[in-house]
Amino acid sequence: MPGPDGRPRILILGGTQEARRLAGILESGVAGLPPLDIVSSLAGRTRQAAALPGRVRIGGFGGADGLAAYLRGEAIDVLIDATHPFAARISANAASACAAAAVRRLALWRPEWRSGAGDRWIEAADAAQAAAMLPEYGARAFLATGRNDLAAFAGMPATWLLVRLVDPPDEPLPLDNHALVTGRGPFDLAGERALLAEHNIDVIVCKASGGPSGETKLTAARERGLPVLMIRRPPPPVGPLAGSIDEIVAALPALLDALPGGHDTPTS
């Protein structure tokens, strides 16, 4: 059933560049779709979220039950899970909540990066395994894992760590010998080359996130012949997946038609 003003209401779980792009596309209007009421949801991890088109809500829902209550209370018609591939908890919560509240759901699952000639990628099962392997590959590491996984790299006084975060941390990082750079992707290739050279980096640690915005560091690593410890992704969310925002936009007419009453396709 459409929301109170008659527009189908879409909740986008975000925190990614793809989610921002999707909100922009849907806010601007898509041929063949009625006007939509778009709400983007962010966890609130960064101090200043990048500007988002349309309505935005910030903060956790309170687990799967809280999200189900939100879906019912806000009369959400379709949930698009466009969160990061490593944000497994919110994706699992979204699957349970949509099942409980009978809300249609489609999840973005970015294609994996593929290594090519000249790449030296070593897969790690998780951040703890990457930390255990790190000393074998060099004494100066660039940690591009984000904030959630830093604790795994505590207690390594013989390894110098360059940490990149979106915001400066509120508390000192739990790391021995480190330096901090701040920045929000996408990062251009020239900048990534300069960062690796300036800090004389021997090895990169990153997540197998996929997507174009993190790929430049891999190109810069290949050019310098550096090893990359690549932390494996969690499994994809259950249920239907789309590989790109374009696929999600293409799937929306069918998702909306499947709502009780469907939607009237504009004729002009």
CB of 166 to ligand NAP, least distance (A): 9
Does residue number 243 form part of the binding site for ligand NAP (CB under 6 A)? no
Sign of CA dihedral 97, 57, 50, 149: negative
Q: Name which of 69, 100, 67 is nearest 81 in CA terms.
A: 67
Closer Cβ to ligand NAP, 78 or 263, answer by number: 78
Query: Which one among 38, 71, 90, 156 touches ligand NAP, defined by CB under 6 A?
Result: 90
Query: Which one among 75, 88, 133, 251 touches ligand NAP, defined by CB under 6 A?
Result: 88
Query: Which one among 4, 62, 155, 212 touches ligand NAP, defined by CB under 6 A?
Result: 62
Q: What is the distance in angstroms between the CA of the first residue and the CA of the last residue of the chain?
A: 24
Site string for ligand NAP, 187-226 (x = CB under 6 A): --------------------x-------------------
Closer Cβ to ligand NAP, 34 or 54, answer by number: 54
**Which segment (78-86, 125-133, 194-202, 229-237) binds ligand NAP by CB under 6 A?**
78-86
Sign of CA dihedral 129, 132, 135, 136: negative
Does residue number 101 form part of the binding site for ligand NAP (CB under 6 A)? no
Q: Who contacts 50 (Cβ-Cβ below 8 Å, separation ≥6)?
A: 20, 184
The residue ranges that bind ligand NAP (CB under 6 A) are 13-16, 41-43, 45, 60-63, 66-67, 83-84, 86-90, 93, 146, 148, 207
